[in-house]
Chains A and B, each alone.
Chain A
Amino acid sequence: MPGIATPPAPMVPPAATPPTAAPGTTTEPSPRQSAQTGVWLAIGTICMSFAALTSAMVVRQGAAPDWRHFQLPPLLYLNTLVLLASSGTLEWSRRRIAAVPVGTASFAPRLEGLSGIYLTLALGLLFVTGQVIAWRQLAAQGLFLATAPSSAFFYVFTALHGLHVVGGLVGLSYVVRRLRRIAGPVPRIALRAAALYWHFMGALWLYLLVILATRV
């Protein structure tokens, strides 16, 4: 997965030593990476939710002989490529924007990087649309949410993942809005946090695809 190897920001600031400054003097704030910490925590909690659902699927499959195997729509694999490509375009864009030197007065270098994010947004929307089309293909085969436990888990997994992807699109749009603001510094940390989340969406989808391909 591109970008998953992005090194995590140190989540714990180094332990403070007794300050020598007089109390009450305004001190320089240390670098804050709250957005990134928040995304790491969100990733943790989303992993936990999907782990719970995975264990529920394993238990449910073993609980009764009514599990029904079916062929995943091939479109899912194309959707996977779209999502992975969107991660690539975002990473390209992020690195380009991150390379803009701090304090650069010109707005142009920032806008150059934006094209990659626009492409990411488009590919993200294409992925969600593709997932909906895959649902319709399954429905056309008579496989609905309540048809079998396997189809139920398929729809639950894909729907919850899709909702998280839509959340990522909203987050990316927010970053785009901030990037397009001429005043103010480049929101590097927000962009890195949004990229981290987006790459995680790709990794999560790969995991779900493996689980779905081997179990349903």
Chain B
Amino acid sequence: MTQTTAHHHAPPRGFLRTHVFSLDHKVIGKQYLDLALVAVCTGMVLSWLMRFHLAWPETPIPGLDRVSPNGAAGGVITPEYYLALMTMHGTIMVFFVLTTAPFAGFGNYFLPIQVGAEDMAFPRINMSSFWVTLVAFLVLIAAFFVGDGPPLSGWTAYAPLSAVGKDAGPGQGVGQTLWAVSITLFCVAQLLGALNFITTTLDLRTQGMSLARMPYATWAWFITSVIGLVAFAVLMPACILLLLDRLAGTSFFIPGGLVISDRLQPHSGGSPLLWQHLFWFFGHPEVYIAILPGFGIISQILPVFARKPLLGPRVLIACLIAIAFLSYTVWGHHMFLSGMTPFSATLFSVPTLVITIPATIVTLLWIGTIYGAKLRFTTPALFCLGFVSVFVSGGISGFFLAQPSIDTYLHGTYFVVGHFHFVMGVAAMFGIFAGTYFWAPKMFGRMMNETLGKWHFWLTFIGVYCVFMPMHYLGLAGNVRRYSAFTDDYLKPMIPLHRFITIAALFTGAAQLIFLFNLVRTRLRGPKAPDNPWEATTLEWSTTSPPPFDNFGGRPPVVYRGPNEYGGTGAGGDYVMQASPQAAGPG
């Protein structure tokens, strides 16, 4: 039988091949992370603009009229432009940050190393995935600068307004088309990426690396890839149908007799609900695509700093698989108010409540792991604890929203905004931060500054609670979401709270400058990192910091044990590395 090895390409020569069009999974991983950094800064600025406008709706924002003379004439944001900012914020954050960084970024860099491979199974496809993602991002950002500006139908692009073209408002012409093209490209990139991740995990594991010995982060990336392979395979054709409705005159999602902007739309018989089903069949698993890598990263990092084995590792893997499976059965809970029959609402409500069980078990495993541990309070450990905190805070509100009768009241309010920002936005961000502080020594060969890291953690942790916790109160009080200003009588008393949230958001955003400064300084001239600064067990810590081109210097590692050997009393310390043949001491 023909033998092929993991390594299909020789070390690159020249700047372009080494740093730009690189086939090396480590360079590609860093490229994804850098793209996500640019995207998150963009998305955060958009959220500041929205928050500022919500708090002081009549105060002009200097310079904004230059970006959009129509959307912000005189610097004051119009309701339409507010929706456009919201659409772009959501799209950028969900796709180009929460999917790109924890999954594509860290996964690309560390999945091959953690399974002991020299590279991904298909390095060329891997490089294409990144470049297609970058083009998708540029196409989306182009919407700011062409036509009437960005689309305003939200990151969910609900039909028929997303399907009928420019009659539906500014940005619904070229802007919405660019959105659909961008997301179609993004789907292609993610499908190629997921295919690569799964194949690498299945076929390229080194000797001794059985599935049971795989690190938890790798398990999470692997399961996330399986989710992605199914979810993006549905969103892509949905986006193609949307594009055809917009450009080719078909009527997949546009009903007959629809009058928009006083114009009868030349379509018939389409189903707007069909778009919602297709979108949310992708959209809900997407939530887990964003958060499961965080689960894996936390499950891997917590034992390192607790100096204890993770509690119930097999239960953890079973829960991740259960979550992946259940994630495909709950999409209708986003559609309780869409006009579905109440019977189907109940049908979707039950699995939504059931999926909280594995999620809760995972949380208990983390808490059980740190119970009684002599925790090392490093920055990555703090972000792990912060992750557990915000995930629980956001998750608990999910119990309420899973019930159709309660969701009917809360769905259109800030309660939902607070819920999903905590549970998938901030939690995933804390996972990204934990991963960055933890793996920076490996990726850059330099240690990040701990003092700055701790300042960053505490300011961010307090900040996000100040931003998102009050939103639950706003929602219970009936404060609707997606409005650009609260000038109605019953909402006026809420404005002081909105101002508090806005100030907290600006403050939290400013705290991220500490992270940026720390990151840039580390990459340029941080102190040199040893190979295994955290005394961790997985394979990436068996090689140099940063790893050589082929990851292990031409000596493929042999794995003797699982990743969970902490708390022993062996001669080499209280841990035994996966690649170490030495027996664990009694622990």
Contact = CB atoms under 8 A, between A and B. Distances in A.
Interface of A: 11-13, 15-19, 21-27, 29-35, 37-38, 41-42, 44-46, 48-50, 52-53, 56, 59-60, 63-67, 102, 145-146, 149, 152, 156, 160, 185-189
B328 to A, nearest CB: 11
A34 B210 contact: no
A101 B251 CA distance: 57
B249 A48 contact: no
B558 A160 contact: no
Interface string B242-276: 00100011111001100000000000111100100
B234 A52 contact: yes
B457 interface: no
Contact of B204 (A11, A16, A32, A52): A32
A23 B202 contact: no
Interface string B526-542: 00000000000000000
Contact of B281 (A27, A50, A52): A52
22 contacts: A13-B203, A16-B205, A16-B213, A19-B558, A22-B581, A26-B554, A29-B556, A31-B3, A38-B196, A45-B194, A45-B229, A46-B233, A59-B271, A64-B268, A66-B251, A67-B269, A145-B250, A146-B248, A146-B250, A149-B270, A156-B241, A186-B2
Contact of A15 (B211, B233, B556): B211
Interface string B202-244: 1111011111110000000000000001101110111011001
Nearest to B233: A48
Q: Which 6 A-B pairs have the closest CB atoms?
A: A64-B269, A146-B249, A48-B233, A66-B269, A63-B271, A34-B121
Q: How large is the interface on B (under 10, 10 to 19, 20 to 34, 35 or more residues)?
A: 35 or more
B281 A19 contact: no
B1 interface: yes
Contact of B556 (A27, A44, A65): A27
Given A23-B580, A34-B122, A56-B241, A18 B233 contact: no
B556 A45 contact: no
Interface string B349-362: 00000000000000
B559 A189 contact: no
Nearest to A191: B2
Given A27-B558, A186-B2, 18 more contacts: A11-B202, A13-B203, A15-B210, A23-B580, A26-B555, A27-B556, A29-B3, A31-B2, A32-B4, A32-B6, A32-B203, A52-B233, A53-B237, A56-B237, A56-B238, A60-B269, A146-B251, A189-B2
B555 A18 contact: no
Nearest to B6: A32
Contacts, number: 174
Contacts of B370: none
A152 B250 contact: yes
B558 A49 contact: no
A48 B230 contact: yes
A60 B237 CA distance: 14
Contacts of A29: 3, 5-6, 556
Given A63-B271, A156-B241, A23 B557 contact: yes
A34 B204 contact: yes
A44 B202 CA distance: 15
B191 interface: yes
Given A16-B559, A45-B233, A152-B252, A66 B122 contact: no
Contacts of A26: 554-556
A21 B191 CA distance: 38
Given A64-B256, A156-B240, A32 B198 contact: no
A214 to B, nearest CB: 20
Given A27-B558, A34-B204, A186-B2, A63 B195 contact: no
B230 A45 contact: yes
Contacts of B561: 18
Contacts of B211: 12, 15
A26 B557 CA distance: 8
B229 to A, nearest CB: 5
B577 to A, nearest CB: 10
Given A31-B3, A33-B203, A52-B237, A41 B278 contact: no
Given A56-B252, A65-B269, A152-B252, A34 B199 contact: yes
Contact of B560 (A18, A67, A152): A18
B187 to A, nearest CB: 10
Contacts of B557: 23-24
A27 B206 CA distance: 9
A32 B556 contact: no
B197 to A, nearest CB: 10
A33 B209 CA distance: 17
